[in-house]
Structure 1
Amino acid sequence: MIKKKILLVYLIMSFGLTNFAQQAISIATKSNVLILETDKDNSLLSSYFGKKLNNEHEYPTIQSLDKYKPGSDDLFNKREAYIASGSLNLLEPALTVTHSDGNKSTVLTFSNVETEQIDQNRKLTSIVLKDAKYQFQVVLKYLAYYNEDVIEQWVEIKHQEKGIVVLNKYASANLTLSGKKFFLKNHYSGATREMRSEEQQLLHGIKTIDSKLGTRTNLLHSSSFMISIDQLATEDAGEVIAGSLAWSGNFKLDFETFDEYYLRITAGINNFSSNYTLKAGENFITPRFVYTYSTSGKGLASRNLQSWVKNYQLLDGKGERLTILNNWETTYFDFNDEKLNELTKDTKKLGVDVFLLDDGWFGNKYPRNGSTSGLGDWQYNKQKLKNGISALGKEATANGVKFGIWLEPEMVNPKSELYENHPDWIIKQPERKEYYMRNQLVLDLTNSKVQDFLFKTVDDIFKEVPELAFIKWDCNSLIYNANSTTLKNQDHFYLEYVIGLNNVLERIRAKYPKVPMMLCAGGGSRVDYAALKYFTEFWPSDNTNPYDRIFIQWEYSYYFPSIAIDNHITDMGNQPIKFKTDVAMMGKLGYDVRVNELSKNDLLFSQNAVQTYTSFKNIVWHGQQYRLQDPYENKVASISYVNDARDEAIVFNYYVATLFTNGVSLPIKLKGLDPAKKYKIEEINLYPGTKSPIDKEKTYSGDFLMKVGFNPQVNANRTSVILRIK
């Protein structure tokens, strides 16, 4: 680790038309650069964000070439790097402050800059801005990941005023883009219909995407997005900014066009009902806004983010994953020791790694025999499990598989001992009617006693089942009637809830750093980069219909790597088991099936499929992903993964036509191969008794496959085809 902290004194540069001193600050990655400069008022401006120039000494020329002047309103639309409200800039601010004397005006000017070379790939730039009238400062933080072409941006705020300061708004970033047109790709969701995509031109005004849900904050809108500049970008062409806010709570993204040629993105915590009272000397740190820039379309932007996630954000992002047999859709709440012991044998028979015991294993005074009772009472049900969960763990080990368990630690049923004994631990408004989602309420994680209870819940299960190898962490309710019985300042509630949750997860990971955990939350409604620090994977949707999953998984792929996405084969959908399995293999494979009810051929196919998946899973998890053919615009969807050596690839192809078609398809052009290498193509994961029409002995150059393509012969009779290219 190279650890150097240097106070940089930047070269004094001057424009040809002015005589004021100018500071220029460069935030650079392998291909891109963000240039920040001061003006004659010592304001910090965003001068350029785009591809690096060959000659870095030409950056100061950029600002002088901008001849556009909005009449007499030059100051009104300054392209400030971080806008504070109450002064001359009247665009949407990143920061709004009520100072200790009641004044709401903040003017930030440049003070100094420091850089820290963390290692050969990461460089942190810290820019200090101060208000000359008040002892108030904002430090803009930019962490550049050189090889991934990714920047993390956040701010740290503190003051030494004679009294408290109230932060009314505290975004992580303002990012200014220049162009003639801007197109926003964003995602909206609902239960079982996650990550629906829409793309629109941003016209006048502000487009806001936000969440006020408290938990499951991505349920309605995703905190990830893409911006195309000048024209709609394709997979392989066009300028694209891809970004996401790393925060598991309420978020707000504002997209504001101004002066005809600019777009300002303001990203941060949603300040809805969340004024923050900041004491003198206290340091307020915002979450990180993560973004990348690509001049080669959406595909490269995705690969940049995926590489960053795997290398730096996702827990064990470069490691292995376990395949699972989950009992939920097999038994639901109706099970006992005998049924579960048979399922551990089925886990071994199928060939997967883990038997996962889902909901319904706990509660005695109020048994968890349905969704209305028991939640919060984390003692095993003595009627269902006479020998306890410890015996299940031992049984799994005896059968040569691992044991995992389902939890929903943040939640409580009103019909539970926890609710009866600790009504002060529940989030609710006094003297108001309780409102339930899925028959449950949310525990108050702003309360340290509740945090202790959550940690103890997990810790006690590990004590009872030392061999516990997997946790499925669910979160099925939103926060209604937001209020804490112990929190002194209710304005801090939404922030303190997330801080409390993270405190619990930090403690769990300190004691159990390696145990895989799936973030469930009723589907992909709690999926953000911050959560992935603690979880090895997430459940993208309760909709496991493989046809729908093609589209859901396609959209998640814009921001999240396949190793993080759990895909299970279930009874949902009437497609054959091969189609279901082929779709689930495009990520982390799992099963929710009645193994004992599979036909002889379906069982044989599934056993072979697990082995086939094992032979190529590392390419899917750790290779470079290329979206080849869009399911929205084609009758065949296609996506590929190429290993780093570019000598092997896995290509998934799915028939998605819903109208009658003649079945003739053009070849699909591959990507990411070595044009000079020769390749053979073999169809894999065939159903027993079927023969592939693809000649696995024929050779093709990488150049041919990328320019002409290959026809996987997918049609209404061959609805899914997986190709191994070597």
Structure 2
Amino acid sequence: MLRLVVPLLILLSLTMSVGWSAPGDIHIAIETKRTALVILVDKDQNPTVVHVGPKLDRADEYAKISGNGKRGEDYTGLYNSAYTPAGSRNLLEPAIQVTHADGNPSLDLRYVRHERKPVGEGIVETTVFLKDPQYPFEVELHYKAYLLEDVIEQWSVIRHTEKNSVVLHKYASANLYIPAQHYYLTHFHGDWAQEMNPVEEPLTEGLKVLDTKLGTRADLFQPPSFLVALNQPAEEDKGEVVAGTLAWSGNYQIAFEVDPLHNLRLMAGINPYASAYTLAPGKEFATPAFLYTYSNTGKGTASRNLHRWARKFRIPQGEGNRLTLLNNWEATYFDFNEEKLTELFKDGKKLGVDLFLLDDGWFGNKYPRNNDRAALGDWQENVKKLPHGLGYLVKQAEEAGIKFGIWVEPEMVSPKSELYEKHADWVLKLPNRQEYYFRNQLVLDLTNPKVQDFVYGVVDDIMTKNPTLSYIKWDCNAVIYNAFSATNPNPSHLYVDYVRGLYKVMERLRTKYPALPMMLCSGGGGRVDYGALRYFTEFWPSDNTDGLERVFIQWNYSYFFPAIATCNHVTDWGKQPIKFRTDVAMMGKIGYDIVVSKLDEKELEFSQQALKTYDQIKDVVWHGDLFRLVSPYEADLASLMYVNDAKDKAVWFSYLIKNRYRAGSVAPIRLKGLDPARNYAIRELNVYPGTKSAINATPQVYSGNYLMTIGFNPTVDTRRTSVVLELSESK
């Protein structure tokens, strides 16, 4: 009953949150449980953002927020526009830029009306309707507030009824305005096997732009996720911070502009680069969603908000289960046959995983897939490697006692393939330029409905023939070079229509196979965003599976994405002990990519027991709240913990990340998220065979108050490089 009462109370306050500060002035408050975004509409019907931050206790006081909250008057009255138009009196970076059917390059957007309605349990959507006074050109600003999660999802819808088409040159999803004394942007950069390296820098007057122009695999250099701290650098549990991410799998642009009044303007959306979009009369253009959350209690709260939202509202089966797996890639690469694979099935069963995943190399006959230079697009089983087909493997795996999954990369094509020979017009490439390859492949034209049908058919055909096949790993290794479609009549629509075509394919697949687990892979973390994660149950953060590197990579993904969606595999890439690699993989969805037969007796025993232990703690890791305790960027170790909703169980991970003399946990670490009034028993997990834990030798029981005030030393050092502790309520 309480779950229903709380949203209803919040909804009641929302219905009262339209106030009046002066004749003709309207305040529109988009509220969650703790935060608010307030739009002021003045007497001239200009919509401006006047507040992004904590929710006011009294809804009627939003009417007292004036337009000059931006700390001074600007020349235009548009610095803090809710959706800044270009070409009229605006002097700064616009959110939208168009050319009307008559050639006029200006736009003026005035408030018409707004409406608010519940669209699900604990979700309220506010729509603000804007219109150009001189042209039949309209924009809807949509704000979907997830009340208990303190997340706002924002997007725009553009339409017109002019006599001919209008050209959209820029079309942001969101335009925020945030006054503060100082701004500190944390963004992330990288490359293959070097994903999610953080940089924190102050924002000063001018424009800072995060973007990508890669078309596919768009996150390769720069993911569309960021943190902005206000007034002072944000800490884990202190400070004001906005965490944002764009739900789009293609080219994006996120711009941060500190205006002449030293206020922050933020615009996020599709990258306008080479993407002028011709919009016909009566049609509409919907932008992707920009997701953000505000916290005045540090980065930890912001990330927990996003995690709860993602698990409940975005990721398929986000509050459900996941499969552990054994992958053959690092065991065999392209060199395998039925006999080798069926032996690996037995290894998977011996290890204790749920599923065996067959990776790249299983297809192609005229051009066999024996390396990465051929056969993409020819999705028939290779008769030499798999003479009895996939169906035989599915059956053999099931007889061995595990499920079977398959790797595909259906968006790409090898120039050396039958598909390329038959359908060169299905490939994105310029007709008068030399072909240029990324990992020896090209990208199929998903703006073409025939190609969409083909890509959908790749997976649908596999599933139709093998209905008990239990997992799909969907890869995407190429970027778009020489961007041109032979069939798209609007060349500048390519980058936008490609992603929309991909989403159409995924929508069809999810409709037909709603429960099918699917991994989002892109040569590692080249495509990790909440647009794609509407369809995929999990993602592959990086091809770099070195245990030490993964501590940092997974740490930074955790600011935006929950553990249940993060695939972490134990492999032989790193030089760390198998215990360290396993412990690191456990702070997410664990998998294996090792040769089980090469494990020694103790390694196998440890791994088998670790999977049994994982089965006991996975619910806390996947569905609990994450609390970062010690940052690997500030100490000799990384330490973090997951606490379940009931606060009666927690799992605590600590890893040594520096190997210098006396490095380690030299003092107690203060815990977080516990109930101070309860007592907790501490037990060490994943103790390696032949070793003993001093923590387990005698009962360790402490109050939550003690653990969060004084702390506990997990004793991480060069002899104990990784420690996993379980906290259970002791009554």
User: Normalising to structure 1: TM-score of the pair?
Assistant: 0.97
Give, in angstroms, the shift of residue 68 of structure 1. 3.5
Provide the C-alpha distance between the structure 2 equivalents of 1:291 and 1:450, rounded to a whole number of angstroms.
34
Q: Is residue 699 of structure 1 aligned with residue 678 of structure 2?
A: no
Name the structure 1 match of 2:723.
721
Name the structure 1 match of 2:266.
265
* Secondary structure, counterpart of 2:135 in structure 1: coil
Partners of 2:205 and 2:262 within 8 A in 1: no
Distance change >3 Å, CA 499–CA 11, structure 1 → 2? closer
Provide the C-alpha distance between the structure 1 equivalents of 2:59 and 2:558, rounded to a whole number of angstroms.
34
Provide the C-alpha distance between the structure 1 equivalents of 2:464 and 2:573, rounded to a whole number of angstroms.
36
Q: Is residue 13 of structure 1 aligned with residue 20 of structure 2?
A: yes
Give, in angstroms, the shift of residue 10 of structure 1. 8.1
Partners of 2:184 and 2:203 within 8 A in 1: yes
Partners of 2:625 and 2:644 within 8 A in 1: yes
Residue-pair matches, total = 719
Partner AA of 1:549 in structure 2: R
Correspondences of 1:499-538 after superposition (within 5 Å): 499-538=500-539
Give, in angstroms, the shift of residue 56 of structure 1. 1.8
Distance change >3 Å, CA 65–CA 93, structure 1 → 2? closer
Backbone CA RMSD of aligned residues:
1.7
Q: Deviations over 1:460-502 (max 9, x none)?
A: 1112322100001000000000001101010111111011111
Partners of 2:681 and 2:701 within 8 A in 1: yes
Name the structure 2 match of 1:63.
66
Q: Is residue 189 of structure 1 aligned with residue 190 of structure 2?
A: yes
Provide the C-alpha distance between the structure 1 equivalents of 2:216 and 2:254, rounded to a whole number of angstroms.
17
Correspondences of 1:553-592 after superposition (within 5 Å): 553-592=554-593
Q: Which runs of 5+ in 2 are unaligned?
A: none
Partners of 1:189 and 1:219 within 8 A in 2: yes
Q: Deviations over 1:28-53 (max 9, x none)?
A: 00001111111232100111111111
Correspondences of 1:149-228 after superposition (within 5 Å): 149-228=150-229
Name the structure 2 match of 1:468.
469
Partners of 1:8 and 1:113 within 8 A in 2: no
Q: Which runs of 5+ in 1 are unaligned?
A: none
Partners of 2:636 and 2:663 within 8 A in 1: no
Correspondences of 1:277-356 after superposition (within 5 Å): 277-356=278-357
Give, in angstroms, the shift of residue 698 of structure 1. 2.4
Partners of 1:669 and 1:709 within 8 A in 2: yes
Provide the C-alpha distance between the structure 2 equivalents of 1:664 and 1:288, rounded to a whole number of angstroms.
42
Partner AA of 2:295 in structure 1: S
Name the structure 2 match of 1:641.
642
* Secondary structure, counterpart of 1:461 in structure 2: helix
* Secondary structure, counterpart of 2:472 in structure 1: strand
Correspondences of 1:666-681 after superposition (within 5 Å): 666-681=667-682
Partners of 1:227 and 1:241 within 8 A in 2: yes
Partner AA of 2:185 in structure 1: L
Q: Deviations over 1:662-702 (max 9, x none)?
A: 65611111000000000110001111111001145121000
Partners of 2:26 and 2:41 within 8 A in 1: yes
Partner AA of 2:147 in structure 1: Y
Correspondences of 1:625-664 after superposition (within 5 Å): 625-661=626-662, 663=664
Distance change >3 Å, CA 29–CA 133, structure 1 → 2? same
Correspondences of 1:213-252 after superposition (within 5 Å): 213-252=214-253
Distance change >3 Å, CA 679–CA 434, structure 1 → 2? same
Provide the C-alpha distance between the structure 2 equivalents of 1:376 and 1:49, rounded to a whole number of angstroms.
48
Name the structure 2 match of 1:129.
130
Name the structure 2 match of 1:411.
412
* Secondary structure, counterpart of 1:488 in structure 2: coil
Partners of 1:157 and 1:283 within 8 A in 2: yes
Partners of 1:628 and 1:668 within 8 A in 2: yes
Distance change >3 Å, CA 243–CA 233, structure 1 → 2? same
Provide the C-alpha distance between the structure 1 equivalents of 2:19 and 2:467, rounded to a whole number of angstroms.
62
Partners of 1:172 and 1:268 within 8 A in 2: yes
Partner AA of 2:63 in structure 1: P
User: Normalising to structure 2: TM-score of the pair?
Assistant: 0.96
Name the structure 1 match of 2:25.
22
Partners of 2:71 and 2:261 within 8 A in 1: no
Provide the C-alpha distance between the structure 1 equivalents of 2:461 and 2:61, rounded to a whole number of angstroms.
62
Distance change >3 Å, CA 386–CA 67, structure 1 → 2? closer
Name the structure 1 match of 2:600.
599
Partner AA of 2:64 in structure 1: T
Partner AA of 1:584 in structure 2: A
Partners of 2:570 and 2:593 within 8 A in 1: yes
Q: Is residue 51 of structure 1 aligned with residue 54 of structure 2?
A: yes
Partners of 1:12 and 1:21 within 8 A in 2: no
Give, in angstroms, the shift of residue 8 of structure 1. 8.3
Partners of 1:180 and 1:260 within 8 A in 2: no
Partners of 1:76 and 1:90 within 8 A in 2: no
Distance change >3 Å, CA 458–CA 12, structure 1 → 2? closer
* Secondary structure, counterpart of 1:694 in structure 2: helix
Correspondences of 1:416-495 after superposition (within 5 Å): 416-495=417-496
Partners of 2:138 and 2:158 within 8 A in 1: yes
Partners of 1:108 and 1:131 within 8 A in 2: yes
Provide the C-alpha distance between the structure 2 equivalents of 1:614 and 1:67, rounded to a whole number of angstroms.
52
* Secondary structure, counterpart of 1:513 in structure 2: coil
Partner AA of 2:86 in structure 1: S
Name the structure 2 match of 1:363.
364
Provide the C-alpha distance between the structure 2 equivalents of 1:10 and 1:568, rounded to a whole number of angstroms.
48
User: Runs of 4 or more off by more than 4 Å in structure 1?
Assistant: 1-5, 7-12
Q: Between 61-70 and 180-189, report the one with greater CA deviation.
A: 61-70
Partner AA of 1:718 in structure 2: R
Partners of 1:518 and 1:539 within 8 A in 2: yes
Partners of 1:10 and 1:23 within 8 A in 2: no
Distance change >3 Å, CA 375–CA 207, structure 1 → 2? same
Partners of 1:407 and 1:472 within 8 A in 2: yes
Give, in angstroms, the shift of residue 119 of structure 1. 3.0
